[in-house]
Structure 1
Amino acid sequence: MRLRVQGLPTAAGVTRVLSLLAVVAAVGLLPWLSGRDPALTVLRARSAEQEPTKEALDAVRSDLGLDAGPLDLLGSWAADLLHGDLGTSWVSGTDVLPSVVSGLQVSLALMGAAFALALLLAAALVAPVLVRGRRSAGAFAAMLAAVPEFLLATVALLVCGVWLGWLPTSGWQGPAYMVLPALALGVPAGGLLGRLVADALPAVLDERWVELWRGAGVSRARISAAALKRVLPQLVPQFGMAAVGLTGGAVAVETVFAVPGIGRTALGAAKSQDLPLLQGAVLALLLLGLVMGAVAAFTRRRLLGPALRDASLALPAARPVRTHPAIPLTLLTVLAVAIGWGLLRDPYTVNTAARLAAPSFSHPLGTDGLGRDVIARLGHGAAPTVGTAAAVCALSLLVALILGFLPGVAAGAADIANALPPVIVGILVAAAAGPGTGGAALAVALISWPPLAAHAAALVQEVRASAFLTAQRAIGASPSWILTRHVLPSVAAPVARHALLRLPGIALALASLGFLGLGAQPPAPEWGLLLDESRAYVERAPWAALAPAVALALLAGLAVSGAAYAQGRRVPRTGGAGSTGSTGKKKEALVEV
C-alpha cells in the first residue's frame, strides 16, 4: 500500500511548478535568448537615421541592462514584475502594462462572445440526442470541430464581408465588428463541445437508471437534465481545454480581422522584436490559459459534489460512429489528384503578365499576386505541410511512450503544456530563434505530446496489473523481458494509432503558424503561408485563398471521416499476452481524436 504524507507535494505538483517556472524564465530571458541584437532594434526604433556604431549600441545595452548577463537580467525583470511593472516598449517608448490591459480587455470580450456562441451551438447539436436519441449530431459536430479558426475566419471575411457586404471586415468599433470574429472562434469550439456531449450521451441514456426512471413516469426533461449532470463532470476538463483553444485561435482571428486584442499585440511585438511588450502579452495569455484550466477544475468539483469529489466517475464506453468507407476514400482521392497535378508543375516560376489570372485550362486554380501557378504551389506545399506534421507526430509518439512510464512526472508538465496553445509557443520560439519551419515544428512538438502520454500511461498501468504479467513474474521472467515482449507491444500499437489520427490536427497547427508568418517563409509553398499571402488580394482573386483553404478543409474532413471509419471497423481484442484486455478496449475507445 502506498501512503502519501499530508502536506507533502506530489511528483505531479512539483513538475507542474517547475514547468511553470521554466516557461516564465524563458519569457523573462527573451532579450538574451533572441538571436537578434536587441540594442539594434531599440536604436532603430529611437532614431532610424543614427548609425549603429559600437559606442551607440553599447550605450543602448547599458541603458536596458542587457550587459549585466542573463541571471541579472532575469532577476531584475522578475523583481519589476512583482511590483506590477512590465517595462517600457522598445518601439513606442510607452509603458507596456496599459497596452497589455487594453488588449486583454478586447480579447476577453471577443472570447466571451465566442464561448457563448459555442455553448448555444453545442446545445443545438445535443438537443436531437436528448429528444430523439439520434447520434447524427456527433458526426456533424466533429466536422465543425475540425475546421481551424483561421480558415473559417478567412472564408467568413470573404463571403460575409467582401462578397455579400453584410458585416465589417476589420477593426473594433462596435458590436457589429464582433460578429465575424466571434463566429470564426465560436463555431469550431461549439462543434467540439457538442461532439463531446453528443458522443457520451447515448451510452448514458442506455444505463439502467434511465429505464427505471422512465418506468416510474419521470418526465423526459428531468431525465435529460440528470443525464447531462451525469455526463458533464468528466467533460468539463475538455470544456476548459476548448476555452484555452480560444486563446490560441484568437491570435489568428484577431490578425485576420485586425482586432486590437492581446493575441495580435503579441504577434506584432514578436515580428517587430519589441520584447518587453511581447513578454507582457505572452504572460497575459499564459495566465489566461491557467485561469481557464483552474475554473474548469473548480467547476468539475462543484458538479461532482463533496461525496464524489475525490472519486472517479467513469463514463461508459461511447458507441463507435460508423461512416461509409466511400467518404474518406473520396476525400483522399480529390486531395491526392490536386496534389499530384500540382507536383507536375513549377511552383516558383514568376509571370507578372499573368498575375491574379482566373482559373483556366493552363492554370486550373488561377495564379497568385506574382503570377505563380496556384495548383503547383498547392501540390508542392503538401510535403512541407504534411511531411513536417509526420515528423512532429513521430517525435510526440516517442516522447509519449517514454513519459507513459512516468505518469506522476508527466502529469504536471502536461497541465502547463495544455495551457499553451501552439500559436503562443510559436511566438516564443520565433522570438528566440526566428520564424521558420523548424521553429514551428518545435513549437507544435512541445505541446502535442500530453494526450498521447495520458493514453500511454493508462495502458501501461493496466498492462502492469494484468494477470498474464503476474504469471510471467511468477515463472521468473526478467523485467527487461516483460518490458520488451509484453508491455511495450501492448502500449505502442494503440498509442501509434492514436498518434496517426492526430496527424491532420498537427498539420493544421503548423499551417496556422505559417499563416501567421511564424512558420515557413516565402517563397516556400506551405499551405498556411499561401493563405497568408493571398489575404492582400482576396477581393480581386479569391481563388488564390480558396485553394489552400479547401485543401485544409479536405484534410480536416479526411481526419474526421477516417477516424470514424477506423473506430467503426475496430474489432474486439481478446485478453492475453500482448493484449490489454477488455478494459484496454474501453480506454482506447474513449481516446479523443
Structure 2
Amino acid sequence: MSPQEEGRGAVVRRLLHGAVPRAAWRCALAAALVCGIGLLPWLSRTDPALTVLKARSAERDATPEVLADVRAGLGLDAGPLHLLGQWLSGLPRGDAGRSWISGAEVAPSVLQALGASVLLMAVALAFAAVTAAAVCARTLWLGSRRRLGDARPGRGGAAVLAALPEFLIASVLATVVGVQLGWLPALGWYGPRWTVLPALSLGLPAGALLGRLLADLLPGAFAEPWAPAAAARGMPGRRIARQAVRRCLPALLPNAALYVVGLTGGAVAVEQIFDIPGLGRLTLQAAVAQDLPVLQAGTLALVLLAACVTLAAHGAARLLAGPALAAGALGSLHRPAPPASRVPLLVYGAVLVAVVGWGLPRDPLAVDTGARLLAPSRAHPFGTDALGRDVLARLAHGAFGTLSQALAISAAALVLGLLLGLLPAVSGPLVDTVNAVPPVLVALLVTAVVGSGSGTPALAVTAVAWAPLAAHAAALLRQERATLHLTAAIGLGAGPWHLLRHELLPAVVPPVARHALLRLPAVALSLAALGFLGLGAQPPSPEWGLLLAENQPYAERAPWAVLAPAAVLALLGALAVSAADGMRTRRPGRPRRRGAEAADPGTARVVPPRRSRPAEPELATAPGGTARE
C-alpha cells in the first residue's frame, strides 16, 4: 500500500472514530428539540383547543362545548406526553400523524415542502458560489501572481451585499424585476423561472459573506511555502489559485454547511414574499396555529437535513485536507496582514455619526397625516413614512436600540462561540441542531418560555447567533492542531496550557473576532427580520427592522422610506468590514511574540534544533498531501 493510500485510510479511520458518541448526542438533541416543540402550547400557557379552533374557523364561537369537542377529537385531555408518545410511535411506520387544522396526513405535505425548499436552496447556492467567486477574484488574481502584500480581501461590495436584508432584496426584486419590468415571475412556484428571484434574494447576501471569509483565508494560503515553490517550477497562476482555494476550503466548509441549512429553513420571509410553499413557511404557519404534528415533522426534517449536510461537509473537509491532517503536517493559515488604511473606517464612522446626530433633535413620533409619504426635502431630508413621521428622526432615534442590541448580541455570541468551539465534540452536534431551527421558530419558543417583551427578540437571536462562530472556531482549531509548528512545539515539550495560550488562541481568536464583526449587520438584520414578521419591536418603536417592515408595502410608491434604513444597514456593514480589516493590522515596531515567525511567508513558528536536509518534500507537496506536477 502506498503512503498516500495509507494516509487516506488514516483519514477514514479518524472519520469513523467517535462516530457513535456523536450520533447518540445528535439523537438526544433532536429528541429534546422535538419534545420541547411538543410542549409548546403548554409552555406558552395557552389553550391549544382555542388556538386550533380559531385556525379552523375564526367566526365560530369558542363555547365550552365546542372547545370540549376539539379537545376530545385531538386527544388533548390525555396530556402532552401521551400525544408526543403517540406521534413518535408512528414515525417508524412513516406516519407523522394528521394535521390538527386540515386533518390531512402530515408526511406528504412536509415532503412536498422539503422538496421546494431544497430546490430553492440549490439554486440559491449556485448564485452564492458565483457571488463568492466575484468577491475573491481580486485576491486570487493578486495571490497567483505572488503579489501577496496586495492580496487583501475586498471591502465595499461584499459589505453592501452582506448587509442588505434578504426580505428587502426580495421585495425590491419582486417589485422592480417581477412587476414593473415583467422579466421574471414574482409570485408562485410553478417551474424553474419562478426560482430565480427568490434564489437571488437568498444567494447574494450569503455568497458575499462566504466570499469575504474565503478571501480572509487566501493570503495565508498563498504565503505558505508550496505557493512560491510551485510558481518557481513554472506552475500556471490559475492552478496555484485553485490549489489555494482547495487549501482554504477545509476551514470554510463547516460554515458553508450552516448557510446551506439556513437557506432551507431560514428563508421564511422570502418564502412569504414570493408565496413559496417551502418548509420554513410551513413550520412558521404551524407554529402560529399550534398545529403540533406539522410543526414537529417539519422541525425533524430540518434537523435531519442539517445532520446530513454537516456530516458531508466535515467529511469533505477532512478528505480535502488529506493525509496532512492525520500526520500533523499542515501549514498555518494565520498570517498578519500588512498595515491597512484607517481612512474607510473613519469615513464610514463619521457618516453614521453624522446621520444619527442630524436626526436626534427631531421628533420620531410626531404624526402629520397631511405630510404622508413626502419625498426628501429640506424639511424632511429622508422623506416621511405612511403616517407623516420624519424618516431621518426615526432612523436616528432607532440607532441606539438597534446598535446596542446588535453589539451586545455579537459580543455574547463571540464569547459563546469561542468557548464552545474549544469543545467540538460537544458543540458540533449542538451547532447543527440549533442552526436547523428557523430563527422565527426560536423566537416563538423563547416567547413561549419567557413571555413577550422588548428583550425577547434579543434572546432569540442570541440563541442562534453563536452557532456560525463556534463552527468557525472549531474548524480553525482542527486545522491549527494539525500544523507543523504545533507538532514541533509538542516535540520540544510544550504543555497543553502553553499550546492553547500561545499557539492555538492567537491563531483562532482574531479570525473569529473578525467573523463576529462581519456578522454584526447580520445580527441587526435578524432583529429586523423578526420585526418584519411581527415578532420583534412593536409600533411606534423606531427600531430599524420595524421601519423596514412598516415601509415595505410602500416601496413602489415611496422608495425612500425603505432605501433610507437599507442604506444605513449597508453603511453599518461597510463599517463592520473596515473594523474587521483593522483587526488584521499589526502595529509597526510592535515586538513579535515568541514563535510568531510562522505568520510570515515562508517561515516556521518553532524551529527544530537542526534539520538534516532542506524540506523539499514539503515545498513540493500540494495542500492535502498530493504530489504536485
| TM-score bracket, shorter-length normalisation | 0.7 to 0.9
Check 1:248–1:547 CA distance in 2 against 1; reply closer, same or farther (3 A cut).
Answer: farther
**C-alpha separation in 1, matches of 2:128 and 2:462:** 28
Deviation at 1:471, TM superposition (A): 11
Q: CA offsets, 1:398-422, max 9 Å, x none?
A: 5457657766544442343344453
Deviation of the 1:208 alpha carbon: 2.8
Query: Structure 1 residue 538: deviation in Å?
Result: 1.7
Residues 436-486 of structure 1 show CA distances to partners (whole Å, capped at 9, x for unaligned) of: 543321221112234555788889x99x9999xx9999xxxxx9xx9xx99
CA offsets, 1:14-47, max 9 Å, x none? Answer: 6544333322222232233333321012222344
563-572 vs 235-244, greater mean Cα deviation: 563-572
Paired letter, 2:226:
W
Picking from 53, 74, 83, the partner of 1:73 is 83
Query: Match for 2:70: what amino acid?
Result: V
Stretch of structure 1 that moved more, 132-141 or 371-380: 132-141
Counterpart CA distance in 1 for 2:420 and 2:132 is 34
Q: Is the 2:440–2:530 Cα contact (8 Å) retained in structure 1? A: yes
Higher relative contact order, structure no. (Cα contacts within 8 Å, ≥ 6 residues apart) = 2
Identity of counterpart residues, as a percentage?
50
String of CA shifts for 1:507-565, please: whole Å, max 9, x gaps. 22222222222222233222112212222222111111112211211111111112112
SS of residue in 1 equivalent to 2:276: coil
Report which stretch shifted further, 70-79 or 8-17.
Answer: 8-17
What is the DSSP-based 3-state SS (H/G/I as helix, E as strand, rest coil) of the residue aligned with 1:448?
helix
Give the equivalent residue in structure 2 for 1:192. 209
323-332 or 548-557, which deviates more: 323-332
Farther-moved stretch of structure 1 (492-501 vs 434-443): 492-501
Partner of 2:566: 549
Query: Alpha carbons of 1:49 and 1:155: their partners in 2 closer, same or farther (altered >3 Å)?
Result: closer
Determine if contact 2:336/2:600 at 8 Å carries over to the other structure. Answer: no
> Which 10-residue stretch deviates more, 423-432 or 82-91?
423-432
Confirm whether residue 535 of structure 1 aligns to residue 545 of structure 2.
no
Q: TM-score, normalised by structure 2?
A: 0.77
Aligned partner letter, 1:557: A
1:139 corresponds in structure 2 to 155
* 1:355 aligned partner: 372
CA shift digits 1:338-374 (9 cap, x unpaired): 3333332333333333222222333222222222322
Give the 3-state SS of the residue equivalent to 1:370 in structure 2: coil
Letter in 1 for 2:50: L
Query: Is the counterpart of residue 240 in structure 1 residue 257 in structure 2?
Result: yes
Kept in 2: contact 1:29–1:73 (CA 8 A): no
Structure 1 counterpart of 2:39, from 9, 29, 42: 29
The whole-number CA distance in structure 2 between the counterparts of 1:308 and 1:129 is 25
Would you say 1:379 and 2:396 are equivalent positions? yes
How far apart are residue 274 of structure 1 and its match?
Answer: 3.5
Q: Which amino acid aligns with 1:447?
A: V
Q: Do the aligned residues in 2 keep the contact of 1:161 with 1:168 (CA within 8 Å)?
A: yes
- Pair 1:99 & 2:129 matched: no
Return the match for 2:198 from 166, 181, 203.
181
* Equivalent in 153, 159, 173 of residue 156 of structure 1: 173
Answer yes or no: is the 8 Å Cα contact 1:365–1:375 preserved in 2. yes
Describe the shift of the 1:401–1:518 C-alpha distance in structure 2 as closer, same or farther (beyond 3 A).
same
Cross-structure match for 1:168: 185
The alignment partner of 2:103 has SS state of coil
1:20 corresponds to which of 27, 30, 44: 30
Of the three residues 279, 285, 300, the one matched with 2:302 is 285
Separation of aligned partners in 2, 1:98 and 1:13: 27
**Residue type at the aligned position of 1:245:** G
Greater Cα shift, 552-561 or 40-49:
40-49
SS in 1 for 2:585: helix
Q: Distance in 2 between matches of 1:506 and 1:52?
A: 40
Tell me if the contact between 1:111 and 1:250 (Cα under 8 Å) persists in the aligned partners.
Answer: no
Deviates more, 1:446-455 or 1:235-244: 446-455
Shift of 1:58: 2.7
Deviation at 1:103, TM superposition (A): 2.0
Deviation by residue 1:259-291 (Cα, 9 ceiling, x = unmatched):
222222223333344443333333333333222
Distance 2:176 2:19 in 1: 53
Find out whether 1:43 has 2:60 as its counterpart.
no
Say if 1:504 and 1:270 are closer, same or farther in 2 by CA, change over 3 A. same
Q: Are the aligned partners of 1:153 and 1:181 in contact in 2 as well (CA < 8 Å)?
A: yes
Measure the CA separation in 1 of the matches of 2:20 and 2:362.
58
Aligned to 1:256: 273
**Which residue is 1:563 aligned to?**
580
Question: For structure 1, which segment, 506-515 or 446-455, has the greater mean C-alpha deviation from structure 2 after superposition?
Answer: 446-455
1:316 aligns with 2:326: no
The separation in 2 between residues aligned to 1:275 and 1:585, in whole angstroms, is: 56
Counterpart position of 1:590: none
Residues 534, 82 of structure 1: alpha-carbon distance in 2 compared, 3 angstrom cutoff: farther
Give the superposition deviation at 1:152.
2.7
Q: TM-score when scaled to structure 1? A: 0.81
Query: What pairs with 1:80-95 in structure 2 (closer than 5 Å)?
Result: 80-95=90-105
Q: Secondary structure at the match of 2:385?
A: coil
Flag the 1:249–1:402 CA change in 2: closer, same or farther, 3 A: closer
Give the secondary structure class of the aligned counterpart of 2:455: helix
Change (3 A) 1:49 1:257: closer
Cα 1:381–1:88 change in 2 (3 A) is farther
Given the alignment of the two structures, is residue 294 of structure 1 paired with residue 311 of structure 2, yes or no?
A: yes
Q: Which range moved further: 61-70 or 423-432?
A: 423-432
Distance 1:509 1:53, change over 3 A: same
What does residue 114 of structure 1 align with? 124
Q: Does 1:60 align with 2:77?
A: no
Flag structure 1 segments of 5+ consecutive residues without an equivalent.
474-478, 587-593
Q: Which amino acid aligns with 2:465?
A: S
3-state SS in 2 of match to 1:269: helix
Q: C-alpha distance in 2, partners of 1:298/1:472?
A: 30
1:199 and 1:318 in contact (8 A); partners too: no
Tell me if the contact between 1:146 and 1:560 (Cα under 8 Å) persists in the aligned partners.
no
Mapped partners of 2:520, 2:212: distance in 1: 19
Pairs aligned (count): 564
Counterpart of 1:86, as a letter, is: A
Q: Tell me which amino acid in the other structure corresponds to 2:259.
A: A
- Contact (CA 8 Å) 1:247, 1:289: kept in 2 or not? no
Whether contact under 8 Å (1:573, 1:581) holds in the other structure is no
Tell me the SS of whatever aligns to 1:170: coil
* Secondary structure in structure 1 of the residue aligned to 2:234: coil
Query: 2: CA distance between counterparts of 1:196 and 1:98?
Result: 38
> Distance between the aligned counterparts of 1:405 and 1:585, measured in 2?
25
Residues 142 and 537 (structure 1 numbering): CA distance in 2 closer, same or farther, change over 3 Å? closer
Alignment correspondent of 2:604: none
Give the root-mean-square deviation of aligned CA atoms: 4.0
**One-letter code of the match for 1:380?**
H
In 1: Cα distance, 2:548 partner to 2:202 partner: 18
Q: Which is further off, 400-409 or 499-508?
A: 400-409
Is 2:400 the counterpart of 1:390? no
AA of the residue aligned to 1:278: L
